[in-house]
Amino acid sequence: DTAVSQTPKYLVTQMGNDKSIKCEQNLGHDTMYWYKQDSKKFLKIMFSYNNKELIINETVPNRFSPKSPDKAHLNLHINSLELGDSAVYFCASSQDRILAEFTGELFFGEGSRLTVL
């Protein structure tokens, strides 16, 4: 059973289109994340979300929006795609980050490679 699964694995689309990437976790975690990994492998957090709070990285354009239908899902919707959005997007989850026991262990999906032409 895959702990954190995301679809699609590959996505090729034209500039200006709107696309979504889906993420599901079966670990019972309270917090989910979206990370962007650029061509230089740099991992940058985009959002963290639990059912109480959405934390948005201030550098993320408002064309990006997380949508969570329930605790086990956090989808990423991107409007008006641009060339610079091409990257690998990782979904991750962890136990509630505000708990004192938060260990820093994130469980990542296998990534969704987005190519904008």
Partner 1 sequence: QQQVKQSPQSLIVQKGGISIINCAYENTAFDYFPWYQQFPGKGPALLIAIRPDVSEKKEGRFTISFNKSAKQFSLHIMDSQPGDSATYFCAASGVTGAGSYQLTFGKGTKLSVIP
Residues lying near partner 1 in the complex (CB under 8 A) are found at: 4, 40-45, 48, 55, 58, 90, 92, 97-98, 102-106, 108-111
Quote the least distance from Cβ 64 to partner 1, whole Å: 17
Closest CA to 47 of 90, 5, 105, 104: 90
Per-residue DSSP letters for 71-102?
Answer: TTEEEEEE-S--GGG-EEEEEEEES-TTSTT-
Which residue number, 47 or 116, has a Cβ lying nearer to partner 1? 47
Which residue number, 36 or 78, has a Cβ lying nearer to partner 1? 36
Which residue number, 112 or 116, has a Cβ lying nearer to partner 1? 112
